[in-house]
Amino acid sequence: MSIAMPIMDAPQQVAAVHPLRFYLTPRERKEQDPANPLVPKTKTVMVEWCDWAKKGVERPTTGGDAVSRLMKDPSVWAAIKPFYENWKAGGADVVINGTPLTVWAGIGGDMVELLRPYRIYSVEDLAGMTDSVMQKIPHPDIVRVRDRAKKFIETKDVADAVRALGDKEDVIKAQAEQLASLQAQVQTLMAANAITSGAASKGRRKVAEAAE
């Protein structure tokens, strides 16, 4: 008998691109005029636009496209979306996906500044850096730095899994303690009820004996 295996979703591919800026640009569109259907009416609308470049290119050729078209490319949109949402929310700072290099003890500030023009802002960006990009970075230890970032990511994933397991065990322990406390309260109430019932029965017997 064959056993059906669960279908696993493929991991989301993220393009190695980074937005340079978002802005609104006017565009003229023709719309049907209800008052005169035979003559289209021209209307000016503001279209969301994004200039972007490939990561790892120090002097990139800037590309630009309407946000609505970028949304149709899943891999490109996966890279652009966090920055777009930050822009829509009024944020001006760079959105960093992952652990910022500025808070990582694996490299110094000089390396952080060296990687910035290549749009490498996080440890995850550094660990995923391709060989072609790495060869463009003028630093003799860049291979070792990338390997260090990869090990950090691997260790971080294990630490997160252990932390999640510990949190789960803490929840189970707390629930067990609550259950034990409830059981103790029930036993106390049962014992109190037994004493009360015994005293009541004894009192009734005395009343009955006195009446005889």
Please state whether the predicted TM-score (pTM) of the whole model is above 0.85.
Answer: no
- pLDDT tens sequence across 170-207: 566 677 777 777 777 777 877 777 676 666 566 666 65
- Cβ-in-10-Å burial (0-12, 13-18, 19+) of 125 comes to buried
Encode pLDDT of 60-102 as tens digits: 566 789 999 999 999 999 988 988 888 887 765 566 777 888 8
Instruction: Give the residue ranges of DSSP H helices in 55-141.
Output: 67-70, 74-88, 109-115, 123-127, 131-134
